[in-house]
Amino acid sequence: MKLLHYWRAMWGIIWRELWRFVTQRERFISALVRPLVWLFVFAAGFRAALGLAITPPYETYILYEVYITPGLIGMIQLFNGMQSSLSMVYDREMGSMRILMVCPLPRWFLLLSKLLAGTGVSVLQVYVFLAIAWFYDIQAPWQGYLWILPALLLSGLMLGALGLLLSSFIKQLENFAGVMNFVIFPMFFMSTALYPLWKIKESSALLHNLAQYNPFSQAVELIRFALYGQFNSHAFIYTLVAFIVFMAAAIVGYNPSKGMMTRKGGA
Partner 1 sequence: MMKKNVLGLFLTVALTGTAQAETVFVTLEKDNALAVVDPVAGKLVKTVEIGQRPRGIAISPDNKFLYVATSDDNTIKIIDTETLKETGKLPSGEDPETFALNPAGDRLYVSNEDDSQVTVIDIKHKKAVKQIKVGVEPEGITVSPDNLWVASASETTNMVHWIDTKTNAIVENTLVDPRPRALSFTADSQQLWVTSEMAGTLMILDVKTKQIVKSIKFDVQGVTPDKIQPVGVVIDKDRKRGYVALGPANRVAVINAQTFEVEKYLLVGQRVWNLAFSPDQKRLYTTNGASNDISLIDLEAQTVTKSIGVGTYPWGVAVKP
Candidates 59, 102, 174, 263: give the one binding partner 1 (CB under 8 A): 59
Q: Are 56 and 65 in contact (CB under 8 A)?
A: no
User: Which of 16, 18, 42, 57 is the binder for partner 1 (CB under 8 A)?
Assistant: 57
Q: Taking CB under 8 A as the rule, does residue 50 contact partner 1?
A: yes
Residues 167-226 that bind partner 1 (CB under 8 A): 225
Q: How far is the C-alpha of 62 from the C-alpha of 78, rounded, in Å? A: 25
Nearer Cβ to partner 1 (23/60)? 60
Residues 6+ apart with CB under 8 A from 246: 158, 161, 162, 164, 165
Q: State how far the Cα of 247 lies from the Cα of 241, in Å rounded to an integer.
A: 10
**Nearest approach, Cβ of residue 238 and partner 1 (Å):** 11
CA pseudo-torsion sign 237, 115, 11, 74: negative
Q: Which is nearer to partner 1, 28 or 228 (CB)?
A: 228
The residues that bridge with 214 in the sheet, in sequence order, are: none
Q: How would you write 173-221 as a 3-class SS string?
A: HHHHHHHHHHHHHHHHHCCCCCCCHHHHHHHCHHHHHHHHHCHHHHHHH
Question: From the list 234, 244, 256, 266, which residue makes contact with partner 1 (rule: CB under 8 A)?
Answer: 234
139 binds partner 1 (CB under 8 A): yes
Listed ranges 21-29, 56-64, 106-114, 251-259: which one lies at the site for partner 1 (CB under 8 A): 56-64
Does 61 bind partner 1 (CB under 8 A)? Our answer is: yes
Task: Give the footprint of partner 1 on this chain (CB under 8 A).
Answer: 47, 49-51, 54, 56-57, 59-63, 139, 143, 147, 225, 229-234
